[in-house]
Amino acid sequence: MSNEIQSNLDSIAKTAEITQDRVKDHLRAAGSEVRAGARAAKDEVRELGNAARDKASESIDAMKDEWHHALDRGQQYALRGESMVRRNPWAALGIAAGVGFVLAKLLSHR
């Protein structure tokens, strides 16, 4: 019976060793999958960051273009106004006096 018990113990020890090796293999595989997933997530975050930076840069460029366009229009209106004042100084003076009178009346009632 002693040989039989020893044989059973040897069999259990061998089974435990095989199980341990399998668990180690599964853990290694799981670790590899986790590392691959982490790399993929890092790459995706990097791509999203790059896309966000590119979109922000495009928006800034569009805003700059719009700002320059608005400045150009403002300068054109200022030149037109200056030209009108030079051609019709008395009319410009009359308009300025009228606007001043209206503003004075509006502000004096407060």
Q: Could you report the per-residue pLDDT of 16-53, keeping only the tens digit for each?
A: 888 998 999 888 889 888 999 999 999 999 999 999 99
Indicate the number of domains in the chain. 1
Any idea of the CA torsion for 85, 88, 93, 95, to the nearest 10 degrees?
A: -90
Two structure tokens written together for 108: 């004096």
For the entire predicted model, the pTM comes to: 0.49
User: Is 85:92 a contact under the CB 8 Å cutoff?
Assistant: yes
Looking at residue 1, its pLDDT comes to 63
**CB contact burial 57-75 (16+ within 10 A = b; e otherwise):** eeeeeeeeeeeeeeeeeee
How is residue 63 annotated by DSSP? Answer: H
* Residue 65: HSE in the Cβ half-sphere, 13 Å Cα cutoff: 6
Query: Residue 17's domain spans which residues?
Result: 2-108
Q: What sign for the dihedral angle of Cα 5, 9, 14, 15?
A: positive
Give 54-107 pLDDT, tens digit per residue: 999 999 999 999 999 999 999 999 999 889 889 989 988 889 999 999 999 888
